[in-house]
C-alpha cells in the first residue's frame, strides 16, 4: 500500500514554487515543465485530455506558460494569437494591467473575507453592477463560476414563483452542475446523469409561440412554469443569433403569464457582443441576469446572478438560504470592479462592435470564396463563428490555424462551427494576420480536396 513520503512532497512542492517564482527558464527546465505536465495529466488529471489536445496541437509540447494582451506563449516561447479567448473570459485581454493591479493591491491587504463581518468590495461591486444593468436590476449574488450563477437563478425563480418548471432551449449551454445541466441541452453531457431536475423542458430556439403554449399547458396540468431561461445568443450551440423580434416576444409572453425571464449572459455579457449586455441589442431586460467568464476581467473567477428588489425579497428574511464560501471574495470583486472600469474607460463595447464588424466581413468574404469548405460566418461584436460542411473540415481548419500560431476552439468531436472570440483588445493588425492565416489554411484544404 502506498504511504505518503512527506519529505518528498515538501521537496516536490518547493521545486514547483521555485519554478513559479522564476522569470526565465533554461532549456532543461522547459523540458521538465513539458514532461511533468504530460505526466501529471496522464497519471493524475485525465489522460483523455492528452488525446484531445494532441488532436489539435499535433504534439504535447504546447504547454501554456505566459500571456498578455491578445496573445499567449507556450513554455518554449511560441506565440499564439488567442482567438478562443478562453471561451469568452478575456474581454479585457490577458492580464490587463489595471485588473492585475487591483487584484495585487487587494491581495497585499486581504485575500479572502472573514465570512462574518461586512466585506466592502462585495457591496461596492453590487452597486456598480446595478449601475451598468438596465431596468430594475438591483441586487447581486456573487458566485465562482457560470454554472453557479445559473443554479442560483433557477433556485431564485422557484423561490419567487413557488413553481418548478423551467423552459430552456435546444442547443442551449448553461453549465454542467446538476441544475444547470438540466437546462443544458446536449445529450452527450446529459444522458449519463439522467434523470436530472424534473420540470425542465427544451424548445427550439427562436420559436416564441411554443413557449406561450407550454406555459399555458403547464397552467392547465398543474406543472407550472417558473421561468424561461435563454442565452440571448447561443454560444456553445454554435453562435446562433435569434430571429428578429424573438426575445422581445418572449419577454411579452413572460410578462403576460407572470413567468420570469432569466437571461444567461455568462458568455455574451461584459461587452462581448458590442454592448455591455447582449439584451441591449434587443431592448429586453430580464428578471434575472446571469454573469460569469469575463466578469472577472480575465484574471479572477467570479460570476453573479442579478435581479430586482421585488424578486430579491425572497432572499432577505434569511440571507443564508443560498450561500457559497468563496463567492464575492475580495480579490474576485477587485478584479470585477476593475473589469467594469476597463470595459467602460477603454470603450471596449464600441471596440467589440467595430472590430467585430470588420472581422466578420473578412470571415464572410473567406466563407464565400471557399464555399466548398465553409457554409457561412456569423456573429455579433467579437462573438463570431464560422460553420463548415463537416466536423472534419472544421477540425482541419482549427489544426491548420494552430500550426500557424492562431488558437480557436475545435476538436474532431465538435468542430462544425469554430468560434472566434478574441480579447476585445485585439488589434486590427492581429485580426488581419488571423484572416491571412485562415485564407492560407482554407486555400490548402481546398487544394487538398480538389
Going 3 to 8 to 9 to 12, the CA torsion angle's sign is negative
Q: Which is nearer to ligand PLP, 165 or 292 (CB)?
A: 292
Stretch that binds ligand PLP, among 113-121, 172-180, 217-225, 405-413 (CB under 6 A): 172-180
Q: Which is nearer to ligand PLP, 273 or 430 (CB)?
A: 273
Place of cell 453549465: 175
The binder of ligand PLP chosen from 106, 133, 145, 329 (CB under 6 A)? 145
* Residue 325, C-alpha cell as written in the block: 464560501
In whole angstroms, the minimum distance from the beta carbon of 92 to ligand PLP comes to 17
The binder of ligand PLP chosen from 85, 93, 146, 410 (CB under 6 A)? 146
147 is an interface residue for ligand PLP by CB under 6 A: yes
87 is an interface residue for ligand PLP by CB under 6 A: yes
241 is an interface residue for ligand PLP by CB under 6 A: no
Stretch that binds ligand PLP, among 114-122, 169-177, 244-252, 329-337 (CB under 6 A): 169-177
> Which 274-303 residues touch ligand PLP, going by CB under 6 A?
292
419 is an interface residue for ligand PLP by CB under 6 A: no
| Total binding residues toward ligand PLP, as defined by CB under 6 A | 15
CB 278 within 8 A of CB 269: yes
Stretch that binds ligand PLP, among 69-77, 144-152, 315-323, 335-343 (CB under 6 A): 144-152
Stretch that binds ligand PLP, among 157-165, 229-237, 357-365, 378-386 (CB under 6 A): 229-237
Q: Which is nearer to ligand PLP, 264 or 314 (CB)?
A: 264
Q: Which is nearer to ligand PLP, 147 or 417 (CB)?
A: 147
379 is an interface residue for ligand PLP by CB under 6 A: no
In whole angstroms, the minimum distance from the beta carbon of 162 to ligand PLP comes to 25
Going 276 to 279 to 281 to 284, the CA torsion angle's sign is negative
In whole angstroms, the minimum distance from the beta carbon of 253 to ligand PLP comes to 21
Work out the angle between the directed axes of helices 428-449 and 348-369 (0-180°, nearest 10).
20
267 is an interface residue for ligand PLP by CB under 6 A: yes
φ and ψ at 40, to 5 degrees?
Answer: -60, -45
In order of 50, 236, 241, 277, 433, the CA distances from 359 in angstroms are 32, 20, 17, 20, 11
Q: Which is nearer to ligand PLP, 149 or 430 (CB)?
A: 149
- Residue whose C-alpha is closest to residue 122's, from 329, 351, 377, 384: 329
- Residue whose C-alpha is closest to residue 84's, from 420, 425, 426, 449: 420
The binder of ligand PLP chosen from 67, 264, 287, 421 (CB under 6 A)? 264
In whole angstroms, the minimum distance from the beta carbon of 267 to ligand PLP comes to 4
356 is an interface residue for ligand PLP by CB under 6 A: no
In whole angstroms, the minimum distance from the beta carbon of 419 to ligand PLP comes to 10
The binder of ligand PLP chosen from 30, 174, 251, 416 (CB under 6 A)? 174
Stretch that binds ligand PLP, among 24-32, 146-154, 358-366, 398-406 (CB under 6 A): 146-154
231 is an interface residue for ligand PLP by CB under 6 A: yes
Q: Which is nearer to ligand PLP, 93 or 292 (CB)?
A: 292
175 is an interface residue for ligand PLP by CB under 6 A: yes
- Residue whose C-alpha is closest to residue 204's, from 240, 176, 174: 240
236 is an interface residue for ligand PLP by CB under 6 A: yes
Select the residue whose beta carbon is closest to ligand PLP and give its number. 146
86 is an interface residue for ligand PLP by CB under 6 A: no
In order of 73, 140, 160, 286, 326, the CA distances from 260 in angstroms are 44, 17, 9, 8, 28
Residues that bind ligand PLP (CB under 6 A): 87, 145-147, 150, 173-175, 231, 235-236, 264, 266-267, 292
Amino acid at each position: 500500500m502506498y504511504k505518503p513520503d512527506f519529505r518528498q512532497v515538501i521537496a516536490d512542492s518547493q521545486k514547483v514554487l521555485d519554478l513559479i517564482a522564476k522569470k526565465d527558464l533554461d532549456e532543461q527546465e522547459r523540458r521538465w515543465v513539458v514532461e511533468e505536465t504530460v505526466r501529471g495529466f496522464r497519471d493524475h488529471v485525465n489522460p483523455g485530455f492528452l488525446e484531445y489536445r494532441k488532436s489539435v496541437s499535433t504534439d504535447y509540447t504546447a504547454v501554456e506558460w505566459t500571456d498578455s494582451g491578445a496573445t499567449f506563449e507556450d513554455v518554449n516561447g511560441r506565440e499564439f494569437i488567442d482567438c478562443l479567448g478562453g471561451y469568452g473570459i478575456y474581454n479585457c485581454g490577458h492580464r490587463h494591467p489595471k485588473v492585475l493591479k487591483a487584484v495585487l493591491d487587494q491581495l497585499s491587504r486581504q485575500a479572502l473575507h472573514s465570512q462574518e463581518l461586512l466585506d466592502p468590495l462585495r457591496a461596492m461591486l453590487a452597486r456598480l453592477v446595478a449601475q451598468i444593468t438596465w431596468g430594475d436590476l438591483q441586487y447581486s449574488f456573487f458566485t465562482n463560476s457560470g454554472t453557479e450563477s445559473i443554479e442560483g437563478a433557477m433556485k431564485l425563480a422557484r423561490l419567487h414563483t413557488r413553481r418548478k418548471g423551467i423552459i430552456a432551449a435546444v442547443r442551449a449551454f448553461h453549465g454542467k452542475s446538476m441544475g444547470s445541466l438540466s437546462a443544458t441541452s446536449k445529450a452527450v453531457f446529459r444522458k449519463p446523469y439522467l434523470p436530472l431536475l424534473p420540470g425542465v423542458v427544451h424548445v427550439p430556439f427562436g420559436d416564441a409561440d411554443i413557449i406561450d403554449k407550454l406555459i399555458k399547458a403547464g397552467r392547465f396540468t398543474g406543472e407550472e412554469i417558473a421561468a424561461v431561461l435563454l442565452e440571448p445568443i447561443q454560444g456553445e450551440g454554435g453562435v446562433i443569433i435569434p430571429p428578429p423580434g424573438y426575445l422581445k416576444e418572449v419577454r411579452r409572453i413572460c410578462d403576460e403569464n407572470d413567468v420570469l425571464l432569466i437571461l444567461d449572459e455568462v458568455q455574451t455579457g461584459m461587452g462581448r457582443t458590442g454592448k455591455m449586455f447582449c439584451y441591449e441589442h434587443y431592448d429586453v431586460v430580464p428578471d434575472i441576469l446571469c454573469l460569469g467568464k469575463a466578469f472577472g476581467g480575465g484574471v479572477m473567477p467570479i460570476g453573479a446572478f442579478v435581479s430586482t428588489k421585488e424578486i430579491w425579497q425572497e432572499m432577505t428574511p434569511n440571507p443564508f438560504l443560498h450561500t457559497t464560501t468563496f463567492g464575492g471574495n475580495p480579490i474576485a470583486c477587485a478584479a470585477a470592479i476593475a473589469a467594469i472600469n476597463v470595459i467602460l474607460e477603454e470603450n471596449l463595447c464600441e471596440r467589440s462592435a467595430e472590430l467585430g464588424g470588420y472581422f466578420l466581413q473578412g470571415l464572410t468574404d473567406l466563407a464565400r470564396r471557399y464555399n466548398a469548405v465553409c457554409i457561412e460566418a456569423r456573429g455579433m461584436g467579437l462573438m463570431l463563428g464560422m460553420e463548415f460542411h463537416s466536423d472534419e473540415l472544421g477540425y482541419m481548419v482549427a489544426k491548420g490555424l494552430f500550426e500557424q500560431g492562431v488558437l480557436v476552439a475545435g476538436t474532431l468531436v465538435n468542430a462544425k462551427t469554430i468560434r472566434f472570440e478574441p480579447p476585445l483588445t485585439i488589434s486590427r493588425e492581429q485580426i488581419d494576420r488571423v484572416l491571412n492565416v485562415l485564407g492560407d489554411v482554407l486555400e490548402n484544404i481546398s487544394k487538398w480536396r480538389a
